[in-house]
Amino acid sequence: MVGSKISQPDGRLRHNLRKYTEKAAAPSMNAMPGHTPTSTVSPQEKPEMLRVLSFLEELGEETETTIDVVEPNPYLRMTLHLIRGHFEAKTITPTSLIGQARVPYATASRRMAEMIEAELIERRPRTASGKSYSLHPSEKLMEQWMQLSGRVLRLIDSHFGTAEPAPQAKDYFYGGSYMAGQAIPPMQVLAEPIKVAGGLRVLVHGDPTFMVMDTLKRQFEQAIGTQIHQRAFSIDRLREEARRNAERKTSRYDIIAVDLPWIGGFAEEGALMPLDEAMDIARLDPADFHTAGWKATHWGGRPYGVPAQTTPEVLFYRRDLFAEAGLDAPTTTEALLDAARTFHDPNRGRYGIAWNAARGTALGHTVLMTMADFGQPILDLPEIAGGFGTDNLADRDYRPTIDTEAGLRAAEFLLQLLEYSPPGILSMSWYERVRPYAAGKIAMAYGYTLLAPFFELDENSPARGKTGYLPHPAGPGASNVAPVGGYVMSLPANLPKDRVRAAVEALIVFTSPEAQKMYVQNGSRTNPRYSVAADPEVRRLSPIFEAVDAMSWRDELQFWPRPPVPEITDIIQICGEEFHEMLRGVTTPREALRKAQARADALFD
């Protein structure tokens, strides 16, 4: 989305995000003015269509300059220029397109008119009078280009061979490919540009995925036809700013990012506009979203946001180290502890496992998710097939369930984890737990999938290409769960009516399959849609997408471990404080459970 200053109180967080965005930034086609990335995404992560485009451009140059009788093909040259301009978010005018044809002006003008008549080129007004307009490849042209790209790659492979044959080659059948048929086309520009005074204003979280979106400013501005202004905050400051914004007479933002657990509280406070009030929900294709991620956006049966990230917390583990030790991937808490004990060797600077153990919000999330590992939700939710029911949370008929036998087993498990954790674990939170894993100092780490770029995109990381992804190992009698996290993009309830339509159109673009694929290609490792996870180009970039997709189909992606009720933020804080005292040895597990239960009960009394 947009380039702007990232407002964050934590210097370490700013450093981590800066380091990440430098490593994950795309090549110069996506670079922001004044931004010089220190490294780039590997060439393999570029869209294949862009590589084919470069190949055809260079092949055309060679044939036209080497063989005297070969003349430029204006249709092909103008097509290549349009496609490249679309990828690089450059404005293409009729004059610039004609100039690329390398034929006489009158001839090129006729060829351009023929392409417009054939609905291969779309014209979009640049001024109110409509006398000036920009040119863009139509959906029809993009579909044809996708087909051509796939065929060119297969032809190259079949005639010359490649070091790594295209995965879809084995599925080739009668001129097509079943896998290639699932490929998502590049993001299209809106036929009618968004018209909104002062440009679009967006409030987001300062995490790696939104920072990847930040590098794509020009692409999104070209797609929607207006400027985008973004502010990014750390998680606690984001919540504060969103709540302050709700108290204003008029919203300062057209779209705001909302953490999934906040949905119920924001909906009850009237901070968010129900989406079905502002748009036709069918335009979002709800069935394409991971079920848990889409359901988590609802309160009282109504959706209050569109998933921008569906990022479950999973277990990262070093497959190579497990293989060397002759250990299977840990699917139970007992196996996890055995593995942590095996790999824990402080004298050699190696530790068993890292996790969120910093006081407050970070540890509070760990407590809720660990209780879920032992089959215990934080609220007395009704048990249903596959987990616990959340459909009637808006009725507010629930109470906290912390001081239980399952809660005690979870507390004791955390104390056992402490024995195999690195020094300073009690101050480790979101980024700190993954950085030592990426550096090869830790064999396992609990982490959200959005943090995977810290090692997947780092060529020097020992964990790169050697990491496995699992749902949380389960306690005795419980099922494996991957607690769903992430952010949705929502409309503020106090958004002026004359800006709602523009915000809706932008919301659809930002969360579309085309946009989600582009985030992935530029370094993101989160994805809320089934169609994106099935895209062959996406699957080749990381095994994480196939792993998460499988978790979703097995019903392991669940959001009941952090139910989006109005009291959840306070409950998380309480657990993060009381369990921290337990981990420090100030209180016993039973005392921590009792105190947390009493404080949580007080919220309801």
List, for residues 485-500, the tens digit of each pLDDT value: 999 999 999 999 999 9
Together in a domain, 481 and 492: no
Together in a domain, 151 and 263: no
Together in a domain, 394 and 355: yes
- pLDDT category, 162, cuts 50, 70, 90? low
- For the cut 80, the answer to whether the pLDDT of residue 539 exceeds it is yes
Please give the tally of structural domains in the chain.
3
Q: Mark which of 149, 182, 215 sits at the end of a domain.
A: 182
Together in a domain, 124 and 67: yes
- For the cut 90, the answer to whether the pLDDT of residue 131 exceeds it is no
- For the cut 90, the answer to whether the pLDDT of residue 572 exceeds it is yes
Q: Please, how many CA atoms are within 13 Å of residue 238, restricted to the half-sphere of its CB?
A: 22
E strand map for 368-411? 383-384, 387-388
User: Residues near 280 by Cβ (< 8 Å), separated by ≥ 6?
Assistant: none
Residue 453 lies in a domain: yes
- Nearest CA to 132 out of 193, 66, 86 is that of 193
SS3 label, residue 19: helix
Q: Which residue has the higher pLDDT, 295 or 15?
A: 295
Instruction: Give the dihedral sign, CA 450/340/559/286.
Output: positive
Residue 108 lies in a domain: yes
Residue 222 lies in a domain: yes
Range of weakest confidence among 76-85, 497-506, 534-543: 76-85
pLDDT of residue 109: 86
List, for residues 252-278, the tens digit of each pLDDT value: 999 999 999 999 999 999 999 999 999
- pLDDT category, 469, cuts 50, 70, 90? very high
User: Residues near 290 by Cβ (< 8 Å), separated by ≥ 6?
Assistant: 307, 310, 484, 528, 529, 530, 548, 552, 557
- pLDDT category, 129, cuts 50, 70, 90? low
Look up the CATH number of the domain holding residue 117.
1.10.10.10
Together in a domain, 112 and 178: yes
Residue 176 lies in a domain: yes
Q: How many CB atoms lie within 10 A of CB 383?
A: 11
- For the cut 90, the answer to whether the pLDDT of residue 180 exceeds it is no
Together in a domain, 272 and 177: no
Together in a domain, 238 and 342: no
Residue 549 lies in a domain: no
Q: Measured between alpha carbons, how far is 278 from 15 in angstroms, rounded to an integer?
A: 38
Token reading at 513:
């399959």
List, for residues 20-79, the tens digit of each pLDDT value: 444 433 333 233 233 333 333 333 334 566 777 778 877 877 777 778 777 888 888 888
Together in a domain, 466 and 320: yes
Domain of residue 103 covers 48-182
Phi-psi map region of 34: left, alpha, beta (phi>0 left; psi -120 to 50 alpha): left
Q: Measured between alpha carbons, how far is 285 from 412 in angstroms, rounded to an integer?
A: 44
Residue 387 lies in a domain: yes
List, for residues 114-126, the tens digit of each pLDDT value: 888 888 888 877 7
- pLDDT category, 182, cuts 50, 70, 90? low
pLDDT of residue 46: 44
Together in a domain, 410 and 491: no
Token reading at 101:
């044809």
Q: Measured between alpha carbons, how far is 189 from 134 in angstroms, rounded to an integer?
A: 11
User: Residues near 473 by Cβ (< 8 Å), separated by ≥ 6?
Assistant: 315, 330, 331, 332, 333, 335, 336, 373, 480
Q: Could you tell me if 143 and 184 are in contact, meaning their C-beta atoms sit under 8 angstroms apart?
A: no
- For the cut 50, the answer to whether the pLDDT of residue 246 exceeds it is yes
- For the cut 50, the answer to whether the pLDDT of residue 19 exceeds it is no
The predicted model gives 315-330 an average pLDDT of 97
pLDDT of residue 571: 97
With tokens 């690329």, the residue in question is 100
- For the cut 70, the answer to whether the pLDDT of residue 173 exceeds it is no
Q: Measured between alpha carbons, how far is 278 from 272 in angstroms, rounded to an integer?
A: 11
List, for residues 213-242, the tens digit of each pLDDT value: 778 888 899 889 999 999 999 888 999 999
Strand partners, 481: 472
Look up the CATH number of the domain holding residue 36.
3.40.190.10
- Nearest CA to 245 out of 274, 214, 278, 269 is that of 269
Residue 325 lies in a domain: yes
SS3 label, residue 470: strand
Give the phi and the psi of residue 424 in degrees, each rounded to 5.
80, 10
Together in a domain, 565 and 526: no
- pLDDT category, 377, cuts 50, 70, 90? very high
Q: Mark which of 129, 154, 182 sits at the end of a domain.
A: 182
Together in a domain, 306 and 316: no
Question: What is the residue-wise DSSP string for 426-461?
Answer: GG--TTTTTHHHHTTSEEEEEEEGGGTHHHHS-TT-
Q: Mark which of 157, 182, 207 sits at the end of a domain.
A: 182
Looking at residue 270, the DSSP 8-state letter turns out to be: T
Together in a domain, 174 and 75: yes
Exposure of 213 by Cβ count < 10 A (0-12 exposed, 13-18 middle, 19+ buried)? buried
Q: Measured between alpha carbons, how far is 590 from 114 in angstroms, rounded to an integer?
A: 78
List, for residues 193-218, the tens digit of each pLDDT value: 898 999 999 999 988 778 877 788 88
What mean pLDDT value characterizes the chain?
Answer: 85
Residue 6 lies in a domain: no
pLDDT of residue 598: 98
